[in-house]
Structure formats: structure tokens, C-alpha cells
Amino acid sequence: MSQLGAILKEARTSAGLSLAGMAKRTGYSRSHIGNIENGVRQATPDVIRKYEEALGDSLKRRSLLLGSLGILAAGSEDDTATAIAHEITNGRSGLLTELQTSHATDKAIAAIVSQDAASLAALKKWSHRGKAVLRVNSAGILAKTRSPLAGTEAVSVLRADGDVRELYATAVLSRVLALPWEDAAQSTTSGMLSDVQVARMAEELANPYDAGARWCATLALYRSRDSDPEAVSGALLSALRVETAAENLRAIGSALAGIDPLKI
């Protein structure tokens, strides 16, 4: 059981709530809540907020608001980014190991560390080792530095590491398509998107701040190419003209050729 999962479980049980009761209050399924509390799944910032809303004063806020868990769970985006960036520049990964950070937080961290060679080297190392949440957080920050080299490094991790790919793609689909986390996770493997969703993912191909999101969008569009072939091809061709990360160029070219980007 992870430290965060144990804290959430203790807060729930001390409030006299069953898993079913917490599921009803948060909107997440009983199995999803149970897996988070037992450390099978990573808690997202949205889960933390839902626990806080459901439990109010019953939640042991001191445990969540102090230390690394508190910074990630309850701090503002700017406070979170500043705290994590400070840790990264000092060679410490602790704040990246418990909770998957948000797109906005990663962008803010990347803006702080993007010119620091030692920080980028540390993130590159962490993206290949340790817990999956550390790897995905590290890759996520690299992907948002707006450096073609760092972006390519991050996408290489997504291609090679299935656990990181699942977490990253779920976050992208949840954000871009406004899906609950569980639905987004299912969409990473189910393939076909609706016409509206295809249009939104096509827009994400032009996101200048996130090379990883552009790669995930390419993969999602490739898998949905039969739903609207003309729209998918047009979006990929437009992206090909402006993409800077080498791995993304390979993925886009592969998708246009009808080849799974994961198989190149």
C-alpha cells in the first residue's frame, strides 16, 4: 500500500464511510477507489480533491497538507510547480513519486528547469527508472520544455514503456476530451473516437507545449482513422509541417502511411 493510499483509506474509515459510500460521494467506482487505497492505482489530483470534498473536516488534512503529499494534493499549481522544481534542481525526486502531476503543473515546472542542464539530466534518468508515476512525471516535464531533443526523449519513453504510456495517454485523453479518468483509461485501448473527439485530438496535434501529448494524439488519431479518414489525414499532414521532435515526425509519418506508430 502506498503512503498516499494508506492516508486516504484511514481518512475514509475514520469518517465511517464504506468503499461504496465513498464511491457514491466521489463519482468513482468502488473498485477504482479500492485500488487507489491499496496502491494498485495512483491517485490523481482529482481523486484527492473529491476525497477532501466528501470528507471535509474528517479528512486528516495535516497528513495531506504537509510534506510531499500535501504539496501535490492541496497546493496551487504555481506553489506545486515551484516546490517540485526546487527539489529537481537539488537532485531530489521525492515529490514526483507519489502522485501524477497535472498538465498545468508540468508546464510550470518545465518553464523553471528547462535551461538547467543538471535538472534535465535528472529528469531523463528518472524517466527510465523507479516507480511508474516517477517515470511518467519526469517524461511529462521533459515533454513540456519545448526543446525538440527533450521532447524526443520523452516520446521515446512513451513508445518503450507501456505503463508510462497508459498513464500519460489517460491524462491526455481526460484533459482534451473532458473525460472522467476511468473513461479516459478505457479509451486509450478501445481505439475508435467520435467525430467530435477526432476534431479535439486533431487540435492537440498543434499543442506547442507538450510533445508527449502530440504523440498521444497521433496514436489516437491513427487508431480512429477509419471514423473520418479525410479529417485524420488532413490533421496529420498539417502537423507534419510544423512538428519539431524527431520521434513525433516518425510517428506522424507512420500514421499517414497506415502503420501503427508503436511498431516503427
Cell numbers at residue 11, please?
A: 481518512
Q: Tell me the average pLDDT across 124-148.
A: 96
Q: Tell me the average pLDDT across 206-232.
A: 94
Nearest to 42 by CA among 79, 72, 71: 72
Is the pLDDT confidence value at 200 over 90? yes
Is the pLDDT confidence value at 97 over 90? no
Q: What is the pLDDT of residue 51?
A: 83
Is the pLDDT confidence value at 260 over 60? yes
| pLDDT bracket for residue 214 (50, 70, 90) | very high
Q: What is the pLDDT of residue 39?
A: 82
How many other β-carbons are positioned within 10 Å of the β-carbon of residue 155? 27
Q: How far, in Å, CA of 130 to CA of 258, rounded?
A: 34
The residue among 1 and 53 whose pLDDT is bigger is: 53
Q: Which amino acid is at 68?
A: S
Q: How far, in Å, CA of 208 to CA of 227, rounded?
A: 26
Q: Tell me the average pLDDT across 167-187.
A: 92
Per-residue exposure over 56-91, b if at least 16 CB sit within 10 Å of its own CB, e if not: eeebebebbeeebbbbbbbbebeebbbbbbebbeee
Q: What is the pLDDT of residue 45?
A: 65
Q: What is the pLDDT of residue 115?
A: 92
Q: Tell me the average pLDDT across 85-100.
A: 87
Q: Considering Cα of 210, then 206, then 185, then 15, what sign does the dihedral take?
A: positive
Q: How far, in Å, CA of 88 to CA of 130, rounded?
A: 15
| pLDDT bracket for residue 128 (50, 70, 90) | very high
Q: Which range (3-17, 88-102, 180-194) has the least confidence?
A: 3-17
Q: Tell me the average pLDDT across 226-230.
A: 89
The residue among 228 and 218 whose pLDDT is bigger is: 218
Q: Global pTM?
A: 0.75
Is the pLDDT confidence value at 119 over 90? yes
Q: What is the pLDDT of residue 43?
A: 72
Is the pLDDT confidence value at 66 over 50? no
The residue among 193 and 159 whose pLDDT is bigger is: 159
Q: How far, in Å, CA of 243 to CA of 151, rounded?
A: 11
Task: Please give the share of the chain, as a percent, with pLDDT higher than 70.
Answer: 89
